[in-house]
Chains A and B, each alone.
Chain A
């Protein structure tokens, strides 16, 4: 158990809908990262927050947005969902930002299925 929690574990929705994925980082970690894993693209970095502020952006679509709250949990919002958004979404956390994979701990993921 990495200490990073993600809810829900599974999510099934329809095209055009909007969903919110939630992540709670390990106790004491200030930085949260979101990744998307799909069969064709593999595991790709989406966005990073550090202590409530956006720190880095990766291949995140404009339909997607995220935020980190004062209690350090983070939410990833996906809107106008398309079939291609079906994927496994991972959250990771670290105490120190910008250290790459050295101190990133991954959550169990949320499997999103768009029908």
Chain B
């Protein structure tokens, strides 16, 4: 089973609408990352969250990590066509000693219609 579950898998919104993407883990999240990817291209780092209750914003995108550190949400306000793409959440998993490895959810495909 997937360690990180993203919902929804895909989302179509009208330009100007708000939207939320969720990332849920069955384990405590040590570090949670949000990336954006244009289809077939590389990953663009958006934000990193580490502390329970932490919230960060960049332009019209806000990400939160819940208090129990097992879920994160990404909220886009007044969406624009430039927001379209695949949003991936990634999480650090403890892999022994002081090491962590990065695992990913399957992504949410966002389409913004003008």
Contact = CB atoms under 8 A, between A and B. Distances in A.
Interface of A: 2, 33, 42-45, 48, 56, 58, 88, 90, 97-102, 104, 106-109, 111
A111 B93 CA distance: 27
B42 A100 contact: no
B99 A97 contact: yes
Nearest to A94: B102
A44 B104 CA distance: 7
Given A56-B101, A98-B100, A99-B100, A42 B107 contact: yes
B88 A56 contact: no
Interface in B1-35: 2, 30-31, 33
Interface size class of B (residues with CB under 8 A): 20 to 34
Given A56-B95, A100-B31, A45 B41 contact: no
Given A42-B2, A45-B101, A102 B42 contact: no
Q: Which residue, of A42, A45, A98, A100, has the highest number of chain B Cβ atoms within 10 A?
A: A100
B41 to A, nearest CB: 7
Contacts of B107: 42-43
B92 A90 contact: no
B75 interface: no
Contacts of B99: 56, 97-98
B48 A88 contact: no
Given A33-B102, A98-B97, A100-B101, 18 more contacts: A42-B105, A43-B88, A43-B90, A43-B104, A43-B106, A48-B101, A88-B40, A90-B42, A90-B43, A98-B100, A100-B31, A100-B92, A101-B90, A101-B92, A106-B43, A107-B42, A108-B42, A109-B42
